[in-house]
Amino acid sequence: MSLPQQIAPHLPYLRRFARALSGSQSSGDAYVVATLEALVAEPAIFPADVDPKIGLYRIFLSLWNTVALNQRETPETALPAAPERNLEAITPRPRQAFLLRTVEGFSLDETALVLGASTDETRALLDEAGREIADQVATDVLIIEDEPVIAMDIEILVAELGHHVVDVARTHKEAVEAARQHRPGLVLADIQLADGSSGLDAVNELIESLPIPVIFITAYPERLLTGKRPEPAFLITKPFQADTVKAAISQALFFDRRARRSAA
């Protein structure tokens, strides 16, 4: 298969990434065009040892990173729309890692390959992005979890990102009461609780009056994959990886803020 045939299916997604990275459709498209021109001029620069999509993004970022302006904390290549300015406040390298992982859907290992970094370095970049997002959208978090050790692990992850856990609820009743009292900005919920009650029912009840992002962390993901409300936009299966939870928290808060600002 020729190089154009290999990369063609991935170009619309690269345009999306470029636009998010630069804050402008015209600027993003210009970088994509420059990437394609570089590949036409010198096809040998395309890495043959990785998936074509990873190779395409790697070439794009190699070009992007050669422009000194793009290494500034707030690129001046464009004036981003208001919902995107909080992303522009993230320093360049963590911003790249965040977008690759959360918007483009690359795994941690794939993100590392695109960035030309180790897995540990990439994880550190994602943690930094999470902390920088938290500086802008730090919020109160309600944990609905009946296992004390798991709840403690989640609480530590939340605190490491700069958020504040207002309560840990073990039952449906405790969860609803805590939400009414503290009005958190994010909920992390299990679905099977201490007294046999349902975390899913608790979430259904509390979001009727408090529309906030919810991340389900459960050993029973199949119970949420029914098509019934609420749709699990963020679903993590136990046992979980710390970096997966951190990425989901940052993603949920970042895109919830964008949605709210777009609707304003």
For residues 112 and 97, state if they share a domain: yes
More confident: 226 or 127: 127
| Of the candidates 180, 177, 181, 201, the residue with the CA atom closest to the CA atom of residue 189 | 201
- Report d(CA 195, CA 171) in Å as an integer: 6
Helices (H), the chain: 3-7, 11-22, 25-41, 52-65, 85-88, 92-98, 108-115, 119-137, 148-160, 172-182, 199-206, 242-263
CATH code of the domain containing 145: 3.40.50.2300
Q: How many domains does the chain have?
A: 2
Q: 134-156: per-residue pLDDT in tens?
A: 788 789 999 999 999 999 999 99
For residues 37 and 97, state if they share a domain: yes
Q: 71-110: per-residue pLDDT in tens?
A: 554 443 433 333 344 455 567 899 899 889 887 889 999 9
- Report d(CA 59, CA 41) in Å as an integer: 13
For residues 162 and 83, state if they share a domain: no
- Report d(CA 147, CA 170) in Å as an integer: 8
For residues 118 and 170, state if they share a domain: no
For residues 218 and 242, state if they share a domain: yes
136: DSSP letter? H
Backbone torsions φ then ψ of 13, nearest 5 degrees: -75, -35
The domain of 240 spans 139-263
For residues 176 and 225, state if they share a domain: yes
Q: Are strands 214-218 and 234-237 parallel, antiparallel or unpaired?
A: parallel
For residues 173 and 196, state if they share a domain: yes
For residues 170 and 254, state if they share a domain: yes
Which positions ≥6 away from 176 have C-beta within 8 Å? 202, 205, 206
> Considering 135, 169, 202, which residue would you say is the last residue of a domain?
135
For residues 82 and 173, state if they share a domain: no
Q: What is the pLDDT of residue 232?
A: 61
Backbone torsions φ then ψ of 142, nearest 5 degrees: -105, 125
